[in-house]
Structure 1
Amino acid sequence: MKTHKIICILALSFVFSMGYAQKGKVRQASKEYDNLAYLKTSEILLEVAENGYKSVDLLQKLANSFYFNNQMKEAAKWYGELMAMNEDVDSEYYFRYAQSLKSIENYTESDKWMRKFAESDRGDLRGRAFTSTVDYLSMIDEASREFDIVNLNINSEVSDFGTTQYKDQLIFASSRGGGKKYAWNEQPYLDLFSAEKQEDGTYGNVEKLDSDINTKFHESTVAFTPDDNVIYFTRNNYYNKKYKNSEDGTNRLKVFRATLDEDGDWDDVEPVHFNSDEYSVAHPTINVEGTKMYFASDMPGTLGKSDIFEVDINEDGTLGEPVNLGPSVNTEGHETFPFINSEGDLYFSSNGFSGLGGLDVFVIRDFKNKRELNQPMALENVGRPINSPMDDFGYYENIGTKEGFFTSNRDGGKGDDDIYSFIIPDCEQVVEGVVKDQDTQELLPGAKVTLLDADGNPLSQQVVGADASYKFEELECEKEYLIRVELDQFATDEKRFTTPKKKQDLVIEFDLERDEVVLEPCADLAKILDIPIIYFDFDKSNIRRDAEVELQKVLAVLNKYPTMTIDVRSHTDCRGPAAYNEKLSNRRAQSTRQYLIDKGVSAERLTAKGFGESRLVNDCGCEPSNESSCSEEEHQLNRRSEFIVTSINGEKCPEN
């Protein structure tokens, strides 16, 4: 017992002495952490934690250091220890833990912490996005497409990212330039580089952009106006050799503008007017018309860590005032690296919407038109292989050359962030099906099947054979079409559909309904042949223009069945004296009969009678209790004509 007590005292003394030394290291690490030197922070705090000295504050800083430096496997480990020690932390730690778990593809555990995050702050858009897409993994699988991605041979052992094409060059940011190192990741500050396109389609001959663009601090992500004469780019808050910090001591990012001079050099570098020392503006992209610029910022009005904004580019090249794109695009997380393609689709990266992990690339298709028309926008995760469990961002595509690029720090890369290329895959759809009788399910050979575009213009036509099957190939992806099927003795059928964004065979079956029925005496043509009721204006008996269109249908039926005779029955609503209504309805019946006679129907085949208000089809009688409660539309239902078959093929209706 005595020996055991001595051992415990010695052990306790060792812990105290070690703890005193470790506290000094924690103070040093905190200083590095406050300076955003996350790599150094993680090294120091990791040593302390592995020596057994842990606290909530230490674990938060250690996990954050790995998280912010994209070392997600380590972040997941230490966030896990933080939660084991104390789950009662700021809800943002639930979100970060969930994100880091995704990076190691532990989606089940990640979803658990996202649910906890959503429950802790029901107003957060990230949590709401998760709860509204609990099946996000299957949705991503559905959006994923099969094509190859290539790690570009211009990548280095450090960070390379953010591609844009300029003429026959690829412009990108890289830390390969040497010089002063950035404390965050201990890599040299970023510069902008160009790589020339080779005859085989690859890129090489990497060179720095001219010195008016690059400085000793960060430059990255560029955009060019459609005429290639103006460049917008991202840089640290460094201008005219002056390096400025915000009030809290942070050097922010700004967007700068330069113009191409007569010698082909970039000149007249100047910041855009909505930059600020107190927030960041970065990652510009310009639409194909050169009228809009999109960028990322945490300026006032931002919903989260960074949002996507839009600003007008005026005809004289000046910029308007930025507008936040709102909650259809932005969340409380990071939305960044926007890109708008030549068709008006907006791509950007986000960790606020449900994805595979880290930043995922999302797209709002037809964004330009939907924004102009104030229409709802549908957000899509672009799926694999663009997205992965790690950070995927800097999406860029050239629809004309079918080249695409994006940046990722996924496993298997050459350096920190790597640029990947891909060929935009051709997407051709096949639509096929069989034509059958709706009632008997028998095959209907001989049916004419027509493929039409969204506006009804015919594209292709087939007549089905003995197997009653049709097939149309080489349809475009994400496009609206119509298929129309016609066959004698059957009602024409038409179906509208939109092809998906990845290649697959579509099956659209047609069950045709017979449009020839057996007509019997006393039948009501309006019900059997689906002929709409013929309406009259209030207190009128003349044939309305819309009624004339419907009477043409009655005329066609009479011409098709030459032995048929019909009785035209006209009715009024209850308003007005009953005797007057009876006369009015008679005038209407005779007007209808005369119209058909004038169109060539023998007078002997037509009788006509008015019933006034005696046969109302609803409760809109004109008693004081009913009259005020009926609308004009309800009264109009009683102002009608009917067409009753009095005889056909020698058989008469007993009622006549």
Structure 2
Amino acid sequence: MKNILSLFCFCLLVTVSYGQNKHSEKADKLFNTYQYVDAIDAYLEVVNDKKADSYVYKQLADSYYNVFNINEASKWYAKALDSKQDAETYYRYSQVLKSQGHYEAANTQMDIFAKMLPEDLRAKEHLMNPNYIPRLADESKFFDVESTIINDNEQSDFGAVLSNDNILYFVSTRDNGKKEDNWTNKPYLDIYKTTRNVDGTFTDPEAVKSLNTPYHDGPITLSEDGKTMIFSRDGHSEGIYKKMDKKQIKLSQQGLYKATLIDGKWKNIVALPFNSKEYSVSHPSLSSDGKTLYFASNMPGGIGDTDIWKVSVNKDTYGTPENLGKLVNTADKEGFPFISDNNILYFSSRGKQGFGGFDIFKVDLNKKEEATNLGKGINTKSDDFSFSINTVKKSGFFSSNRSGVDNIYLAIPICQYQVITLVEDAETKQFIANANVSILDAKNNIIATQVTKEGKTSFNVNCASNYTINVEKEGYESLTIPVNREDQDQIVVNASLNPIVKDAMQEMITDKEVILNNVYFEFNKSNITYQGATELDKLVTILNAYPEMEILVRSHTDTKGAAAYNLKLSERRAQATIQYVISKGISKTRLSALGLGSKEPKIDCKSNCTDAEDAQNRRSEFLIVKK
């Protein structure tokens, strides 16, 4: 149950006015007697006379909110919040923003609400998990990002690769006793390793001495079994360089080397055959089957400065390097390839459209589609590079100098799948165009709405919630269908809509009442919800088809709470129900409302009702006064 303070705020909202505007007296009377449709017209008159203030805007927004006109409610809440309002107004604005799919903006409003009422259960729930809505997967967001604890914030750390036995290898310029590189004035790179613990923390990094030399070593790639490593190394270490006589400079290139893990140490280090004094070969990534090695190089035959290449591998035999072409490479720099076990190639580029500096991209080599930018969070205006992912451990790593120095960040994959909805006429089996298809989360928040094109819509959603598809089309009965994923990457929801004809309506009409599914309200609330609006639209259709019909809406509560409070709550709910129907164009003379509180329970379970029994008692009845 919500705490007393929360409940008190709700009661104030419907019984007391804050900062009343002297020009809105008529509208206020209509609002306070729950005549929201007429109140809207009256408040709009004040607005049109240019006598409105933030109080009027708030009242107008609340009126729209109570009849589930989300877009208008959002518009007027935004104007009302130019001035400070009571906590409940911020809460309501957050709800309409969620219904519009504006989740970050909704969270901002909930942050304000939580500061104003920190003890409210809604505030506590928000602060515990502010991003509880599993929002539609933004095409530009594939990972959540966290900083790792292994970084030396004064030196460069990058090239992190996690083995299947939880050893994380990376390269760093952290203090290792080496002399400085004259080009960067920083220590040469060394290869380090650390172990990831069960709780996600890491042991203190230690240098891999059997691999490191006085010059640059790393980054690395590992075989699937973790027993073979291919790594970059500066040619100085092997005596492979060109002498620049005039300046007494020894110019070396990066090359690739192979090492084997024997008795816990890396041994048998050998150079790969395509290393050269004339060009650099670096940034290796070995496919999971060990048959293809990807790397970056400025070798002849490329497209730009440095390109991504691949070469076939057969034990100790290597084929001829192949350029990956314009699918990946540009006239600028590409580097740091990483090939995942599902044949997704991640790489960094300065030549493709991005946020600035190096951005990280991915391309599915199975489909050979255009490369996709990994989007905000992963990419920034700074250099973002050296991405790797262990799909078994569901952990990715990348590096960025967004803090001013190269640091390693953890990339947590966002589980996503596609929901395709096919909408057809139940009788003709023809696809229906221009139907409204909404996807709702487990809390019945509207995540997004699309209009069918040739009977089809498609949503990309996160895996961490249950979803419901709701389909509406004028002239058809609306349909609600639960989404059952069952670990599939794509599911198809078939929505077969029944045309609304008088014969079908007759099934909903008895001698005494119109039978609808239960119109639910939030606990202790009386505003119309999305689910309630969907059901009441059926009543609107029936009333339009039977223009002489008159309806009495009787609203009931469960048996919890004081009888007097329940009576007033049911009266508000009954009024909100008919106000919604009136807002859809039905004459107010055809509707009446009666709140009965807990006087006539459907199940007489008194104070020992189960949740299921309470739900049946919280109901609205639509009695036919006149056919």
The TM-score range, normalised by the shorter chain, is: 0.3 to 0.5
Q: Which has the higher contact order (CA 8 A, sep 6+)?
A: 2
